[in-house]
Amino acid sequence: MTYTCAVFPTEDATLEEAQDYKYDLVCRKLGLKEGDRLLDLGCGWGGMVRHAAKHYGVKALGVTLSREQATWAQEEIKRQGLDHLAEVRHSDYRDVPETDFDAVSSIGLTEHIGVDNYPSYFAFIENRLRPGGRMLNHCITRHDNQGRASAGAFIDRYVFPDGELAGSGTIVRAVEDAGLEVQHHENFRVHYAKTLAGWSKNLADNWDACVAETDEGTARVWGLYMVGSRIAFERNEIQLHHVLATKNDDGESGYPLRHEF
């Protein structure tokens, strides 16, 4: 139930191991520790929220526009006995009233924000962080900062309506213009190609069950989308970037002299 790029610690790691490693890497980049407060924007099925609560003792709040995701995630949080630490809320991220979070994670949401909304999006994140807090933005990007933002007619109609992609430089500029200091910037392009290969194999291996869950047309659309996206990542037509930044207090970022993740 994880819907974003995995990070493979080794070439032979399974998709499940790589997804778990992805969440743990985000936690380590954010410097999470017991008692911290985390806000996860566009939290999906709550994977990041649960990982941070279970393995780092973090008080984690996730928000999603999908009522189905929020309901499933809350049930899974309760099933795992994490409801004293974790919450997934059915909400627009802009309606979150809480502030002074130690960390904000955004994993696979920026693609849906729209390039014109980057300034207000990262300004919202800056406003929700405490001084010294950290932000990690994980999103699909263009290989340059000059191409069109639209994901294309097929994807726009059948997969991600109104999704937009920009180069990582555009992301970095928007983060910095919001008053945050970029500390680290990393490309996971080849990891997304491997993730899509795993998803495609899962679809093929479970074809009849997937068709029964939806219909053959939907299964074919998603199969085509995943194969095409894998090729695009392999050819460096699109990428996946982490941008890690801090909210400083009179120049004090709380960031170590060297990265510790």
- CATH code for the domain of 149: 3.40.50.150
CA dihedral 28, 189, 120, 95 (to 10 degrees): -60
Long-range contact set of residues 108-111: C-beta below 8 Å, sequence gap at least 24: 108/3, 108/4, 108/5, 108/42, 108/44, 108/138, 108/139, 108/140, 109/41, 109/42, 109/139, 110/137, 110/139, 110/171, 111/139, 111/140, 111/151, 111/160, 111/163, 111/164, 111/165
Neighbours of 65 (CB within 10 A): 13
Residue 86 structural domain: 22-189+238-246
Question: Does residue 44 form part of some domain?
Answer: yes
What is the DSSP track for 118-145? Answer: HHHHHHHHHHHEEEEEEEEEEEEEESSS
- For residue 242, pLDDT over 90 is answered with yes
Q: Number of structural domains, the chain?
A: 1
- For residue 41, pLDDT over 90 is answered with yes
For the segment 171-198, the average pLDDT, to the nearest whole number, is: 98
At residue 151 the predicted structure's pLDDT band, cuts being 50, 70 and 90, is confident
pLDDT of residue 55: 98
Residues pairing with 164 in the sheet: 150
For the segment 18-36, the average pLDDT, to the nearest whole number, is: 98
17 CB-side CA count, 13 A: 8
At residue 26 the predicted structure's pLDDT band, cuts being 50, 70 and 90, is very high
Q: What are the two backbone dihedrals, phi and then psi, of residue 177, each rounded to the nearest 5 degrees? A: -65, -20
Question: Does residue 140 form part of some domain?
Answer: yes
Per-residue pLDDT of 43-87, as tens digits, reads: 999 999 999 999 999 999 999 999 999 999 999 999 999 999 999
pLDDT of residue 156: 86
**DSSP-derived 3-state class of residue 235:** coil
Question: Does residue 261 form part of some domain?
Answer: no
Q: Which two tokens stand for residue 170?
A: 């555009």
At residue 147 the predicted structure's pLDDT band, cuts being 50, 70 and 90, is confident
pLDDT of residue 154: 87
pLDDT of residue 91: 97
pLDDT of residue 153: 86
Question: Does residue 42 form part of some domain?
Answer: yes
- For residue 155, pLDDT over 90 is answered with no
Question: Does residue 213 form part of some domain?
Answer: no
Question: Does residue 73 form part of some domain?
Answer: yes
Per-residue pLDDT of 93-126, as tens digits, reads: 999 999 999 999 999 999 999 999 999 999 999 9
Question: Does residue 26 form part of some domain?
Answer: yes
Question: Does residue 257 form part of some domain?
Answer: no
Neighbours of 129 (CB within 10 A): 22
For the segment 12-37, the average pLDDT, to the nearest whole number, is: 98
